[in-house]
Amino acid sequence: MPNTSIMTFNILSILPVLILAGFGMMVLVVDVLSSRKMGEKNFLAYLSLIGVVIAAFLSKNFTGTTLFSFYGAYTIDNYSLFFQFVFLLCAGLTILISKNYVQRENINYGEYYTLILFSTIGMILMASGADLLNIFIGLEIMSISIYILVGMKRTRLTSNEASLKYFLLGAFSTGFLLYGIALVYGATGTISLRQIAVFIAGKGGVLDPLLLAGMGLIIVGIGFKIASAPFHAWVPDVYEGAPTAITAFMAVGPKAAGFAAFLRIFFIAFGQVHQDWEKIIWILAVLTMTTGNIIALIQTNIKRMLAYSSIAHAGYLLIALVAANNMSVSAILFYLLAYLFMNIGAFAIVIVISQKEDSFLKISDFSGLAYKHPRLAIAMTLFLLSMAGIPPTAGFVGKFYIFSSAIKSGYVLLAIIGVINSVIAVFYYLRVTVAMYMRGPEREFQPLTLSPFIFVAIIISIIGTIQLGIFPAKVLEIAQRSILLLR
Amino acid sequence: MNLPILTLITFLPIVGVILILSIDSRHKELIRVTSLLVSIVVFLISLPLYFIFDTNTYDMQFVEKLRWIPSFGISYHLGIDGISLFLVLLTTFITPITILASWHVERNVKEYMIAMLVLETGMVGVFVSLDVFLFYVFWELMLIPMYLIIGIWGGQRRIYAAVKFFIYTMAGSVFMLLAIIGLFFLNYRATGEYTFNLLEFYRMDISYAVQFWLFLAFFMAFAIKVPMFPLHTWLPDAHVEAPTAGSVILAGVLLKMGTYGFVRFCLPLFPEASHAFIPVISWMAIVGIIYGALVAMVQEDLKKLVAYSSVSHLGFVMMGIFAFNIQGIEGGITQMINHGLSTGALFLIVGMLYERRHTRLISDYGGLTKQIPVFATLFMIVTFSSIGLPGLNGFVGEFLILVGMFKSRILYASIATSGIILAAVYMLWMFQRVMFQNITHEENKTLKDVSKRELAVMIPILLVIFWIGIYPNAFLRKMDSSVKHLLEQVERKVLVTPNIQKQDNPDLHDNSIPKIDIVPEKETEW
């Protein structure tokens, strides 16, 4: 049990969240009051970026403190702060790659940035939630914002379809999650994760069927959000139909938030009954990696390919979840940060290469890129190699860490399946480099319009990918200090 | 003398890359000269390794150690002994030669030279790393430039060959990665210390069942790289499609990483398992030797012929290493160097012919001796070196390997020896068809003899070929104590568990995946 003296209603603890909410609403109001044309509203991006930066500075102030505010419903510890950092970085980079994209695609509405900020709030609540309801509310705030963001391109049929699909399936999965929470509450009489753990310990680590069913339903609900197979069917269509910048955002943000909640629920509440859920997650991990990687092999659209690859990455992360040792928490944290850089970097390049109305998104459209825009091609290669887990990149250290945690707990077979999968994955990542370097151009490349915003985003991603690959020591240490306070 | 020589030779090429990046890609000549100069400087810096090298100790020399990722005990740890010394020198020696030999590359010169220099960093890094994590990083790092060299500057089916090369190597090495992690935790369980230091790993006593699986994982990575039959199929494709310099590097250095891996990792880390695997590896090597030779014999394409001859030659190296005696291992190492030199030279020769006639078919040549006598002489010396004519380098290695093999296993030795005869057959027959007989093609009458640049490419290699052939002691003496120590290490461990010979067939079905229950959950620093 946490010390009761710090279990207060501490409004300061959610200051970053408040800032984000405030700036989000400010963007809306300023958007309405401004008389400029849609394409000229640069200040929307500036404003929301300022909000993210302020929130990041505020949350940095909390480092090292452990705080249970709102009577234990909201936790601040290094773990949630690490996630806050990931979410804010993700939101910031997304805003950077969005600015020119939304102008090009004519979707420069105020809501766009507001919803990004709001969904970031949802993610932060998920990572900080110390009880099931708080996590659920966070998940809803995040999801509903993203449902709308996916359909932001109102005039495009694919975008509408993606939004509807994501909404329907997402609502359905939320139902599962809520039902699971209800069952757990019915069985234990509490929604606090620590109280659930106490309850299970009181029963000698045996789950009654009600609790077991609740746990299973929670796995389904969160499994949907992190896009694990077999709950992944929505991913390719939604990722393809969504505005590309939003695809980048949702490939990282919700996934990271889902894992934040997953880890907290399963390591704290269900930590003692590891043997009851490790097998099911083991199977999920194998299914997720394999499905993602094998279907990615035959994709011709780069967004779909990256969608399936993101499914596969969720599978790798699940490996560490199965391992359930202290190493796996920091492995997941590190991997998510690495994934953030390489994924947003890759999508940023996709945005640069594609043209209005999201044309030129086929892998063959990258043919000959290396001879037209060599720097872009090198950057893209770096991100792809990192996703494939080739040293010296962030992705390699991340995979190394994840497989280490698996082997540490003795899951050798799972690690073997994992590495076989990463070999399969190499094949489709190489296809893009083959197109870029080894084939002649199949189309005229437009002269590059690299705005300073997206340029900065790409540079940050490159630095992140290389830094975490060559000098990961510092970040590894931070990740190791950010483990959950178990049990 | 406290210069960090190993760091310099590993990372100077990267400095060269930065230099080249700052040159405009239109100044092709400047780019070529810069990269050549950089690689020559690297070679010159590496020379003191040979002269200062202390032959009396088996300890690692020129050691450099810096903390890199302390939370995992990973350090930047470099050092060489008599086993890696010559492979390092071979790498720094071959690289400037290949750069000089690729002067004719006109397309994307800048990218090409960058790839070559990054490749050099990767190759040197593999041979000098004493930290296993670092080793793995370099091992994978060198895949990317080689993949690009084959895929961008290669022949007709270059994309297929490049991807195949990448996937094959990657498929092997990921298992090695798992085994490395396994070793890390085993060592932690034994000593309570996080480290990836190879020298610490050497001290571990690993139970045979675990050794078996770890050996298998390392074996996958190295056997694909060597390549051993039947994992060799990527090699002919890669060789044939790669540009000349790519083939030279591939044959000269990359394949040696596999055999080096066996000597550096498999034997000392898993001695019992290595012993148990002798029959398997020997038969794979023997099949490789004979199969490679027979297939080489019927090739119509010069490059393919040389590629398959590599499969055969590397089989000999493996036989030597797994003879488990000093002659065998020293022969194996010597033969690695020899193969790098003579096969590298053969690829250069084929490349020169190709530049002149744009064909590699043996039937398109014939009677060249009269037209291009200097070239013919060079070609002949290299051919003889590859066959193993006494007085040239190939003989020394093959002889030592044979001595080693006959000392340990006569049956294997006598079968494998036939490969030497076959080698003479396919090489001489090829030479005869290309260089002797009558000129059957009009185009061959106007061929130009070797240019000065080509002479500059070939002469250094020929000098070393003669040097090793005539005075092999200059090389063998340097390896002696390291190889002896390696054997002592292996023997000591094998003797401790005397029942090892009976355990040739571990029960594969019992706990088919060893549950490596590594660490108790109590420690908190994660």
Closest-CA residue of A relative to B137 is: A391
CB A28 within 8 A of CB A110: yes
**Residues in A touching B175 (Cβ below 8 Å):** 416, 419
Contact B152 A438 (CB under 8 A): yes
Predicted confidence band at A9 (pLDDT cuts at 50, 70, 90)?
A: low
Q: What is the pLDDT of residue B260?
A: 93
Can you say how many angstroms the Cα of residue A360 is from the centroid of all Cα atoms in its chain?
25
In this structure, of B297-301, B394-398, B499-503, the range with the lowest mean pLDDT score is B499-503
Residue B503 pLDDT > 80, yes or no? no
Predicted confidence band at A331 (pLDDT cuts at 50, 70, 90)?
A: very high
**Residues in B touching A385 (Cβ below 8 Å):** 144
CB A122 within 8 A of CB A145: yes
Query: Cβ atoms within 10 A of the Cβ of A4, count?
Result: 10
| Burial class of A182 by CB neighbour count within 10 A (0 to 12, 13 to 18, 19+) | middle
Selecting from A330, A385, A416 the residue whose C-beta is nearest the C-beta of B144 gives: A385
B37 near A CB under 8 A = no
Pairwise CA distance, residues B110 & B20, whole Å = 7
Q: Each residue of B91-120: pLDDT tens digit?
A: 999 999 999 988 888 888 888 999 999 999
Closest-CA residue of A relative to B188 is: A408
Query: Cβ atoms within 10 A of the Cβ of B442, count?
Result: 7
Contact A400 B526 (CB under 8 A): no
**Residues in B touching A422 (Cβ below 8 Å):** 174
Backbone Cα Rg of chain A: 21
Q: What is the pLDDT of residue A144?
A: 94
Q: What is the pLDDT of residue B58?
A: 85
Q: Each residue of B177-215: pLDDT tens digit?
A: 999 999 999 999 888 888 999 988 888 888 888 899 999
Pairwise CA distance, residues B474 & B466, whole Å = 12
Pairwise CA distance, residues A397 & A409, whole Å = 19
Six token digits for residue B143: 């895949």
Contact A427 B184 (CB under 8 A): no
Closest-CA residue of A relative to B213 is: A412
Q: What is the mean pLDDT of residues A320-329?
A: 89
Contact B162 A396 (CB under 8 A): no
- Mean pLDDT of the residues in chain A: 89
Q: What is the pLDDT of residue A8?
A: 63
The segment with the largest mean pLDDT, out of A113-127, A435-449, B141-155, B413-427, is A113-127
Q: What is the pLDDT of residue B57?
A: 85
- Angle of helix A394-408 relative to helix B158-191, nearest 10 degrees, comes to 50
Residue A447 pLDDT > 60, yes or no? yes
Give the single-character DSSP code of B325.
Answer: S
Q: What is the pLDDT of residue B526?
A: 41
Q: What is the mean pLDDT of residues A403-418?
A: 92
Q: What is the mean pLDDT of residues B436-451?
A: 81
Contact B108 A371 (CB under 8 A): yes
The minimum CA-CA distance between A410 and chain B, rounded to whole Å, is 5
% of chain A surpassing 90 pLDDT: 59
Selecting from B136, B163, B185 the residue whose C-beta is nearest the C-beta of A407 gives: B185
SS3 of residue A328 by DSSP = helix
Residue A483 pLDDT > 80, yes or no? no
Residue A89 pLDDT > 90, yes or no? yes
How large is the ipTM?
Answer: 0.91
**Whether the bond into B230 is cis, omega within 30 of 0:** yes
Of residues B169 and B496, which shows the higher confidence score?
B169
Six token digits for residue B337: 């160097």
Residue B500 pLDDT > 70, yes or no? no
Query: Smallest Cα–Cα separation from B36: which of B457, B470, B443, B377?
Result: B457
Q: What is the mean pLDDT of residues B40-45?
A: 93
**Whether the bond into B227 is cis, omega within 30 of 0:** yes
Contact B166 A326 (CB under 8 A): no
Q: How many C-alpha atoms does A310 have within 13 Å on its Cβ side?
A: 35
Residue B499 pLDDT > 80, yes or no? no
Six token digits for residue A333: 């944290």
Pairwise CA distance, residues A137 & A126, whole Å = 8
Q: Each residue of A90-144: pLDDT tens digit?
A: 999 999 999 888 888 888 888 899 999 999 999 999 999 888 999 999 999 999 9
B526 near A CB under 8 A = yes
Element holding B22 (H helix, E strand): none
Pairwise CA distance, residues A386 & A285, whole Å = 20
Q: Each residue of A216-233: pLDDT tens digit?
A: 999 999 999 999 988 998
CB A339 within 8 A of CB A313: yes
CB B268 within 8 A of CB B228: no
Q: What is the pLDDT of residue A122?
A: 95
Q: What is the pLDDT of residue A314?
A: 94
Residue B35 pLDDT > 50, yes or no? yes
Q: What is the pLDDT of residue A371?
A: 84
Q: What is the pLDDT of residue B134?
A: 94
Please report which residue ranges of A155-208 form alpha helices under DSSP H.
157-188, 193-202
% of chain B surpassing 90 pLDDT: 43
Query: Smallest Cα–Cα separation from B303: which of B259, B238, B258?
Result: B238
Q: What is the pLDDT of residue B498?
A: 46
Cα–Cα distances in Å, from A228 out to A144, A221, A249, A262? 20, 10, 17, 12
Selecting from A422, A423, A480 the residue whose C-beta is nearest the C-beta of B71 gives: A480
Q: What is the pLDDT of residue B495?
A: 65
Contact B526 A480 (CB under 8 A): yes
Instruction: Report B:167-186 residues touching A (Cβ under 8 A).
Output: 167, 170-171, 174-175, 177-178, 181-182, 184-185
Q: Each residue of B52-102: pLDDT tens digit?
A: 888 888 888 888 999 898 888 899 999 998 899 999 999 999 999 999 988
Q: What is the pLDDT of residue B513?
A: 41
Q: What is the mean pLDDT of residues B273-293?
A: 91
Cα–Cα distances in Å, from A332 out to A98, A258, A416? 27, 12, 18
CB B195 within 8 A of CB B287: no
SS3 of residue B116 by DSSP = helix
Q: What is the pLDDT of residue B518?
A: 43
Cα–Cα distances in Å, from B165 out to A317, A342, A416? 28, 25, 21
B68 near A CB under 8 A = yes
- Written in H, E and C, the secondary structure of B65-99 is EEEEEHHHCEEEEEEECHHHHHHHHHHHHHHHHHH
Residue A288 pLDDT > 50, yes or no? yes
Q: What is the mean pLDDT of residues A401-415?
A: 92
Q: Each residue of B16-26: pLDDT tens digit?
A: 999 998 888 88
Predicted confidence band at A302 (pLDDT cuts at 50, 70, 90)?
A: very high
Pairwise CA distance, residues A218 & A175, whole Å = 10
Predicted confidence band at B383 (pLDDT cuts at 50, 70, 90)?
A: very high
**Whether the bond into A209 is cis, omega within 30 of 0:** no
**Residues in A touching B144 (Cβ below 8 Å):** 385, 390
Contact A420 B174 (CB under 8 A): yes
Element holding A68 (H helix, E strand): strand A67-69
Q: Each residue of B237-265: pLDDT tens digit?
A: 999 899 988 999 998 899 999 999 999 99
Six token digits for residue B231: 């994992």
Six token digits for residue A114: 């507001």
Contact B185 A408 (CB under 8 A): yes
Best to test chain A binding among B133, B160, B174, B210 (most A CBs inside 10 Å): B174
Selecting from B70, B162, B518 the residue whose C-beta is nearest the C-beta of A410 gives: B518
Cα–Cα distances in Å, from A357 out to A106, A153, A155, B172, B348? 9, 10, 10, 43, 51
Contact B185 A413 (CB under 8 A): no
b (16+ CB within 10 A) / e for B89-117: bbbbbbbbbbbbbbbebeebbbbbbbbbb
Selecting from B159, B162, B178 the residue whose C-beta is nearest the C-beta of A403 gives: B178
Best to test chain A binding among B133, B166, B216, B517 (most A CBs inside 10 Å): B166
Pairwise CA distance, residues A97 & A348, whole Å = 6
CB B251 within 8 A of CB B344: yes
Q: What is the pLDDT of residue B443?
A: 78
Pairwise CA distance, residues B174 & B185, whole Å = 17
Q: Count of CB contacts below 8 A, A vs B? A: 108
Please report which residue ranges of B192-228 form alpha helices under DSSP H.
198-202, 208-225
- Angle of helix A394-408 relative to helix A452-470, nearest 10 degrees, comes to 40
The minimum CA-CA distance between B317 and chain A, rounded to whole Å, is 29
**Residues in A touching B517 (Cβ below 8 Å):** 410
Q: Each residue of A76-85: pLDDT tens digit?
A: 888 899 999 9
- Mean pLDDT of the residues in chain B: 86
